[in-house]
Structure 1
Amino acid sequence: MKKVLLLLICLSLPACVVSVNENTSKVSKSVTTRSGVDDNQGFSAKRLQRIDRKMQEYIDQGKLAGVMTLVSRNNQTVHFSAQGMQDIAAGKPMQRDAIFRIYSMTKPITAVAAMTLWEQGKFHMNDPISLYLPELKNLKVYVSGSDDTMVLEEQKSPIRIIDLFAHTAGFSYGFTGSEVDKLYRASEVMQGKTAPENVLTELAKLPLNHQPGSQWNYGINTDIIGYLVEKISGMKLGEYISQQILQPLNMLDTGFYVPADKVSRFAAVYHNNADGKTVLMEK
């Protein structure tokens, strides 16, 4: 999804890493902090130390800037450590309260939000999505050709909500070289130039990759589920997720934005550029 959900790693994920190819000298000042081990949980303190040693190898080799690992059993933390750097340029070691981008992990959280509405009987999985989002009714389906010779046909069946969950609706992401994906890449929707309230209308101008329910194709289905949540709940997606999921789970550092008073805990993200050098990923 275009909006990025952020996650305090110690609350929800067993491990999160930032991939880099940095010179070892720049990450040699590795700081490790760890919690104590509860021997009653059946773990060997000696063997748990292997985790830190292996993660440090990756840091020393320049494969990672920083890494955090957590092992929990029976609601008890038996291993929790932070190693390497949270921000290389600033010389800031990784901290156990660092906040990370989780990118596509917004998808399962959005799906859970929708499922809470399903539990309440607000919709059925076989309902046509157009029943709630009429902008997505009667979309055309790609058959053959390209540009001016492109052949489209009518839908043989409506897009059901279950098709969005299963990625069988026919939507795409523009990741491949298909003719439909070329249209996706050229669209203002996928370039982030469309106002949120106009996204569905613009999306409806693009053909489906295949007939709904006929095959699997990874696409912007979960984004549409987000609109479904907003339409049924009458709330903004972030507000609904916070109220129904994050607050009950005490995930107080999770959200679509980082508040000003938490920016200092926001971990930098690195990637390899065309020259193979590690640089900050564009925000």
Structure 2
Amino acid sequence: MNNVLSIQSHVVFGHAGNSAAVFPMRRMGVNVWPLNTVQFSNHTQYGRWTGSAVDASELIRVIEGVGAIGVLSRCNAVLSGYLGAPEQAAAVVEIVRMVKAVNPKALYFCDPVMGAASGCIVEPGIQEYLVTTMPEISDAMTPNHIELQKLTGRTIETVEEAIEACREVIARGPKIVLVKHLIDRNSRADAFNMLAVTENQAWFAQRPLYPFARQPVGVGDLTSAVFLARTLLGDSVREALEHTLAAVNAVVKTTYEAGRYELEIVAAQDEIAHPTESFPALAMHVE
């Protein structure tokens, strides 16, 4: 069985970070070792929360403990998401090095969470680390539209421009860039776009965009987790993208139909593992 070390936030109430990623990966048959970067009462887009970040040195000590019992080599992938302090970014780099030292085939998937105008709060200094350091050590990165612009320092308005930006990131290290939410000026207003790019492939796919009064949080964390799980389970880039889009659509659709704000991950769990709707990915060609 595949094992993922998932280094993300934890919220006691709701679904964000590890609280949105761990259960879906397990439901798909991938074992998860959660390492929480923060413990918050709830996600930050409520505008108020309690809790604190875990000391960066403690993160490393925990993984040293895993190594001390001789099982770190069983880790097939590291997934990092929300970080509570810049020092934690340095700790993630060290943890990835520790894992790859005992299992060179292990993958590192970096979800470069950099905050958003909608209320996701990220400490100063984290963005700089994600932009300057993480691409070089990542096997895959999963930015959203804004994060891809920050990674490349360019404005992106079309699928073609996004593919070029992804290839710019790929040139720095990652083999795959998954754009979890792409804003394309040529797409329908009611479409939610995703894009998966490698050095020589690019796949574009869409699902419905549901008209929430306020969009639920944790969709990106869920997306990265499902895509990583399907990759470990042997999917091609296209297959992983299509499964991810269908699974996430099922969760978001269930959430919308229930009139909820927090993701209905448990209610949609069967659809996460075996989606009944499909959204085919289209091959894109950019000269």
- Shorter-chain TM range is under 0.3
TM-score of the pair, normalised by structure 1? 0.23
Larger fraction in helix: 2
Query: Higher RCO, 1 or 2 (CA under 8 Å, sep at least 6)?
Result: 1
TM-score of the pair, normalised by structure 2? 0.23
